[in-house]
Amino acid sequence: MKRARLVQWGVGILAVCLVTSACGGDDSSSSSSAAPSSGPALSGAPIKIGFAVSETGVQSSSTAASVPTAEAWADQINNTGGLGGRPVEIVVADTKNNAGSAQAAVRGLVEDQQIVAMLLSDSVAEGAVGDYLQQQNIPVIGAAGYKADVWNGLSNFFTTAPNAGMVVQSLATSGKAADAKVLSAGVCAESATCADDASKALAPAAAANDMKYGGAVTISATAANYTAECLNFNKQNADYVALLVTVDTSVRVMTDCIQQGFDGTFGTSSTSFNPTEYGKVAGMKMAGTLNGFPWWADSEPVKKFRDALDTYKSGTDYTSTSATTTWSSLELFRTALGSNTADVTRQSVFDGYYSLKDETLGGLLPQPVTFTKGQPSPQIKCFWQFKFNAGDDSPELLAPSGESGNGDSGDLATACAA
């Protein structure tokens, strides 16, 4: 598989909770490398998919597995006959968790007319590029998006995962599953709106799940320690703390809070859940939700995912939904194209997605998806629930209390919000 990389700088920065500020800089570079193919000979021009992703930046630890997963998917495709005999190419642009850099990176991808679809994974900067991508009429096929007015508001975005509001609400269901009485939240201090946004979603969600809402405590990623914040959680009598911060910050918060006597349960969701790192925190107990399929499941579609990563990207830590949402988004792209691979264009990709009806990819998606021409994607209200404690070999998937959201009756069954 050939991989092209575009690294571009621009102006402006979008803060962690999608609030704009400013910076400067202008630089660009590019490089490419090719992976050897041992499969059938491929022919024809490559089918190119752009990937605008935060490989660097304040929250890049949450998307670290995204690019290796996309590359492993493409390598597997190319070593098993390609898409209709044609090779697949992933073109990567680093958005740097920065609005200006994201705009420049996305522009470079869009201006490559051979790129027929795009993945976007940058929770900080996605709001800065959504309108432009719609104006350019390019299909955005995933990987994981959070801003509702982008992923559920723009008609060229094909959503396969819950948005930020639903992710926050889903944590209340995990708090209830952990028998919590008081739910509090640790939220990013990098934006003045983070605490308000969390409270607006969590307060009613806690009440709906028979819990009291203790409040939101702001957490700075650059703080020397979190003693004061942890004492605040204790003062609130919290026994379930939803952490809406990065993986690295969550590790430090949990470590400090346990040292300050917190013996309740922590909650994380989506790309903020990283069992490799969290399992190192002695005494940690966690219950949370996933916006992408559980990578440890025994189902055949998940085994295919693990086999591809182990074969083509050995050593990659794919225990994150940044990996699984990327994989399922690309699998949905393959399904949408079907056998129509002779002349793949941006329009034919749109047509392929509009032909999908109640697709779940055998349980890789949290709920059936159907897309309607000219309409935004419907909201994804289902997710996977898990529990995980320090010392566990792997997380444990919690069965939904009601009917499975994606119709799976095994280890890919999902729970749904009311």
Given this chain, do its domains 47-162+296-380 and 165-290+384-416 carry the same CATH topology?
yes
Asked if 166 and 151 count as a contact pair (C-beta separation under 8 A), the reply is no
Asked if 26 and 8 count as a contact pair (C-beta separation under 8 A), the reply is no
| Closest to 106 measured CA to CA, from 88, 124, 91, 84 | 91
As a whole number of angstroms, the distance between CA 324 and CA 309 comes to: 11
For residue 38, the model assigns a pLDDT of 62
DSSP result, 271-332: GG--HHHHTTSTT-EEEEEESS--TT--SHHHHHHHHHHHHHSTT----SHHHHHHHHHHHH
Asked if 128 and 102 count as a contact pair (C-beta separation under 8 A), the reply is yes
As a whole number of angstroms, the distance between CA 337 and CA 330 comes to: 11
Strand partners, 285: 389
**Structural domain spans, the chain:** 47-162+296-380, 165-290+384-416
165-290+384-416 CATH: 3.40.50.2300
pTM of the model: 0.85
For residue 107, the model assigns a pLDDT of 97
- In terms of DSSP bridges, do strands 240-244 and 285-290 run parallel, antiparallel, or are they unpaired? unpaired
Coil/strand/helix, residue 127: helix
Asked if 24 and 12 count as a contact pair (C-beta separation under 8 A), the reply is no
For residue 18, the model assigns a pLDDT of 29
Crossing angle of the two packed helices 346-354 and 321-337, in degrees rounded to 10: 90
Range list of β-strands (E), 35-153? 47-53, 88-94, 115-121, 140-143
From residue 417, alpha-carbon distances to 80, 171, 173, 174 in Å are 39, 10, 8, 11
Going residue by residue through the chain, which has 418 residues, state the pLDDT in tens, using 9 for 90 and above: 434 433 322 222 222 332 222 233 333 322 223 344 566 789 999 999 999 999 998 778 778 899 999 999 999 999 999 999 999 999 999 999 889 999 999 999 999 999 999 999 988 889 999 999 999 999 999 987 888 899 999 999 999 999 878 888 889 989 998 999 999 999 988 765 566 777 788 999 999 999 999 999 999 989 999 999 999 999 999 999 999 888 889 999 999 999 999 999 999 988 788 898 999 999 999 999 999 999 999 999 999 999 999 999 999 999 989 999 999 999 999 999 999 999 999 999 999 999 999 999 999 999 999 999 999 999 999 999 999 999 999 999 988 888 999 999 999 999 998 7
Please confirm whether the linkage preceding 34 is cis (ω < 30° from 0).
no
Coil/strand/helix, residue 233: helix
- In terms of DSSP bridges, do strands 212-219 and 20-21 run parallel, antiparallel, or are they unpaired? unpaired
Instruction: Fill in the amino acid letter for 141.
Output: I
What class has domain 47-162+296-380? alpha beta
